[in-house]
Amino acid sequence: MLVCVLAIASAIGTVALAAFLFRKLDRGTDDRDPGGPSTGHAGSMLSALFLLVFAIAIIVPWTTTDAARENTYAEGEAAVETYWASTALPAPAASEVQAQLRGYLGFVLDKEWPLMAQGRLSSEGSARLNQLRVQVTSMSLTGDEAENARSAVLDAVADLSAARHQRAADAKATPPSGVLALTILTGVVVIVFPFLAGARPRGMTILPLMVMAALLGVGVYQAWDISHVFSGGLAVKPDALTAALQEIQQIPLGR
C-alpha cells in the first residue's frame, strides 16, 4: 500500500514540477481549452487505463472459470474411475465402496454445490472421502487379485481427493486484489473527466455522456458478477458430476 501511495505521489509531483519548470522557462503556451492538447492527452490516457483495468477484470475471472470447469470434469472422471476400480473387489466390499461413492456424489450435488457460491466447501465432503479411504484400507482381503484391486481403488480415491482439493481452491479464487475497485475508480473518472476539464455539456451534447456512463455501469457490474467461479453469469455448473453420477449408475455392481 505504501509503495502504491508513493508511486501516485511521485507521478503527481512529476506533473507539478514539469508545469512549474515550463512556466518558469517560458516554454509552451497556456492551455485552458477543454478540447486542447492537455485535456485530449489526459482523456485518451485515462480511457486506455480504464480499458486495461477492465480487460484484466474480465479476462482473469473468465480464464479462472474455464479452468475450474475443466477441473470439475477431472473430478467426475476420477469418481467414475474409482467406481470402475471397485468392481474388482470381492463382495460385499465392492457394493459398500460403490454405495459410498454414490452417496458422496449425491452429497456434493445436493448439499455442497450451493455452498461453493460462498467460496467454501463442506467439511463433510472431506470426511466422506477420508472414511472411504479408511474403509478400503481396513478391508480384510486375501489373494493378489483382491490386493491389486484395493491398490487401484486407493489410487483412484487419491485422484478424486486431489480433484476435490483443486475445487476448493477454485471456490476461493478471486481476481487480483484491488482490480474491481480500480475499475470502478477509473470508470468514474472517465465519466466526470469532461466536467473536470472545464466542459459544460448542454442539451443533446450530454446524451452521449449519459449513454457512455450507462454502458460503463453495465460493464463494471458484469465484471463484479463474474468475479466468483461458482456464482454469477459465468458460474460453473455441476454438469460434470451430474454426468458422472448418471454414468456410474449404469456400471454393473461389484461381484
Per-residue pLDDT reduced to its tens digit, 189-207: 888 877 777 777 777 778 8
pLDDT of amino acid 13 = 66
User: Does pLDDT of 237 surpass 90?
Assistant: yes
Neighbours of 196 (CB within 10 A): 12
Query: Cell triple for residue 216?
Result: 460503463
pLDDT band at 48 (very low <50, low <70, confident <90, very high): confident
Among the ranges given (26-30, 39-43, 45-49, 103-107), the one the predictor scored with the smallest mean pLDDT:
26-30
pLDDT band at 210 (very low <50, low <70, confident <90, very high): confident
Report the predicted TM-score, pTM, of the whole model to 2 decimal places.
0.77
Greatest mean pLDDT among 39-43, 196-200, 234-238 lies in 234-238
pLDDT of amino acid 2 = 65
Q: Rounded to whole angstroms, how far apart are CA atoms 126 and 93?
A: 21
% of the chain residues with pLDDT over 90: 29
Residue matched to cell numbers 460434470: 240
% of the chain residues with pLDDT over 70: 82
pLDDT of amino acid 170 = 92
User: Does pLDDT of 158 surpass 90?
Assistant: yes
Q: Phi then psi for 230, rounded to 5 degrees?
A: -105, 20
For the chain, give the secondary structure using H, E and C. CHHHHHHHHHHHHHHHHHHHHHHHCCCCCCCCCCCCHHHHHHHHHHHHHHHHHHHHHHHHHHHHHHHHHHHHHHHHHHHHHHHHHHCCCCCCHHHHHHHHHHHHHHHHHHHHHHHHCCCCCCHHHHHHHHHHHHHHHCCCCCCHHHHHHHHHHHHHHHHHHHHHHHHHHHHHCCCCCCHHHHHHHHHHHHHHHHHHCCCCCCHHHHHHHHHHHHHHHHHHHHHHHCCCCCCCCCCCCCHHHHHHHHHHCCCCCCC
Neighbours of 237 (CB within 10 A): 11
User: Does pLDDT of 33 surpass 60?
Assistant: no
pLDDT of amino acid 73 = 94
pLDDT of amino acid 169 = 92
Q: Are residues 135 and 100 in contact, defined by beta-carbon separation less than 8 angstroms?
A: yes
Q: For the residues 17-24, what does the mean pLDDT come to? A: 56
pLDDT of amino acid 38 = 62
Q: Rounded to whole angstroms, how far apart are CA atoms 76 and 142?
A: 30
Q: What is the mean pLDDT of the chain?
A: 83
Pick left, alpha or beta for residue 186 (phi over 0 → left; psi -120 to 50 → alpha; otherwise beta): alpha
Neighbours of 254 (CB within 10 A): 20
Q: For the residues 80-100, what does the mean pLDDT come to? A: 88
**Is pLDDT larger for residue 33 or for residue 153?**
153
User: Does pLDDT of 116 surpass 60?
Assistant: yes
pLDDT of amino acid 18 = 56
pLDDT of amino acid 201 = 74
pLDDT band at 16 (very low <50, low <70, confident <90, very high): low
